[in-house]
Amino acid sequence: MSDLLARHRAVMPSWMALYYNEPIEIVGGKGNRVVDADGKSYLDFFAGILTNMIGYDVPEVREAVERQLATGVVHTSTLYLLRTQVELAEKIARLSGIPDAKVFFTNSGTEANETALLLATYARGSDQVLAMRQSYHGRSFGAISITSNRAWKNNSLSPLNVHFLHGADRHLTQFRGMSDADYIAACVDDLRHVLATAVAGNVAALIAEPIQGVGGFTAAPDGLFAAYKEVLDEEGILFVSDEVQTGWGRTGSAFFGIHNHGMTPDMMTFAKGLGNGFAVGGVVARGDLMDGPHAIGLSTFGGNPISMAAANATLDYVLDHDLQANAARTGDILISGLREAAGRLSVVGDVRGRGLMFAVDLVDPATGAPGPALAARFMEETKKLGLLAGKGGLYGSTLRMAPPLTLTEDEAREGLGILVTALETVDDEAR
């Protein structure tokens, strides 16, 4: 065990996840690559945790932050006007497509979801919330309540009354072999049943990830959430899209994941990539909801000048370089390459994805059961070959890849080569 790992174990909680048998210390980064303390370079196919959306040491972001630092103001107070905050809010409100949108900034995705829950429950005078099975929304009491993933939910002491819906679980026996249209119809039927039988009075909101991140990059078929919204609208139930992983063009086919469903939500929450590593999150919501009668107060650090400088520079970079189109292009190379390889690899159960958010499920070739040990082997192998991937999913057997949106086509091909080589090794060993 390295000295730093021993010190980490001594003073930090045992439940803090660390990748790899011998966890690495990242000491540098440039473009879409990082360097560890031994000088080994890696192509970062997880972009931190989808945080380094436009790669590392981006001059535009560094210079924006340095300009802010040079003013002498790291933070004053959200009680004063801040130009960069207003500018960023204007951009996000416009991009959201939400009518009369207003924006509130937080420091994380958890806080963003917590804020959305406060807004929705206050607006509707209800503690009842709908969420999706297999979801992950963060690490506060409220966010864990709406999370449906055993690995991240260790108690049921919920401050909210939550009902979980179908939508990203077509693998269940009851749905197998169904067309999209039939699956959507079955899900809508279930939603109506929940509303008719399981809830009492008002329901505040449905919160959903357009593509479930921690859950393993599993997605509802396009159109499902639009169908849900029709039902919810009948009762005034709000729709909150958690865009913490799916925002800013990552899916290639839409700027926010929910737009793939041809609908506009009442609120969206965001975080992760927006600050390209600097902590920034927030909520964008219909103005009437944001301005509702129940003020929810300020956030001391939410919307601070350094985060705002970084976030404005990052978002401008994404738009100026049309990184959504790049995500579609490079994602295609990777997803189609992996699909092609999957045909000859008995450990691959499924390849799925959209843009630069794609996943591979590993299964035991003999039984077809989820293979968490195979995923752990894959991680060690890709590390050796110089690529950082993510893993997780409901059974720890899903490989999750979400490279920076700045990934070049050459890097996509290089990464694909490493992924396929690592899969072949795992496949050989498992036969």
Q: Which residues bind ligand PLP (CB under 6 A)?
A: 108-110, 113, 136-139, 209, 213-214, 242, 244-245, 271, 281
DSSP secondary structure string for all residues of 194-231? HHHHT--S---EEEE-SEETTTTSEEPPTTHHHHHHHH
Q: Which is nearer to ligand PLP, 188 or 270 (CB)?
A: 270
Which residues sit opposite 239 in a β-bridge? 206
Give the C-alpha distances (Å, rounded to integers) separating 322 from 248, 250, 293, 327, 397.
10, 11, 39, 9, 33
Nearer to ligand PLP, 111 or 381 (CB): 111
Min. distance of Cβ 244 from ligand PLP in angstroms? 4
Dihedral angle sign, alpha carbons of residues 105, 327, 147, 51: negative
Q: How far is the CB of 95 from ligand PLP (least distance, A)?
A: 18
Nearer of residues 46 and 183 to ligand PLP, judged by Cβ: 46
Angle at CA of residue 272, ends 138 and 205, nearest 5°: 45
Shortest reach from residue 302's CB to ligand PLP, in Å: 12
Closer to ligand PLP by Cβ: residue 240 or 348? 240
How long is the chain? Answer: 431
Q: Give min distance, CB of 118 to ligand PLP, in A.
A: 15
Q: Are 81 and 308 in contact (CB under 8 A)?
A: no
Task: Kindly report the number of other CB atoms within 10 A of residue 325's CB atom.
Answer: 13
CB of residue 80 to ligand PLP, shortest distance in Å: 26
Residue 277 Cβ vs ligand PLP, minimum distance, rounded to whole Å: 12
Which is nearer to ligand PLP, 143 or 188 (by Cβ)?
143
How many whole angstroms separate alpha carbon 283 and alpha carbon 290? Answer: 9
Shortest gap between Cβ of 424 and ligand PLP (angstroms)? 30
Q: Between 213 and 282, whose beta carbon lies closer to ligand PLP?
A: 213
- What kind and span of H or E run contains 27? strand 26-30
Phi, psi of 197 (to 5 degrees): -125, -30
Identify the H or E element spanning 142.
helix 141-145
Q: Give Rg (Cα) of the chain.
A: 21
Task: Please state the closest distance from residue 155 (CB atom) to ligand PLP, in A.
Answer: 18
Nearer to ligand PLP, 213 or 216 (CB): 213
Upper half-sphere CA count for residue 204 (Cβ side, 13 Å): 24
Q: Which residue has the tokens 């960069």?
A: 84
Nearest position to ligand PLP, beta carbon: 109
Q: Between residues 213 and 349, which has the closer beta carbon with respect to ligand PLP? A: 213
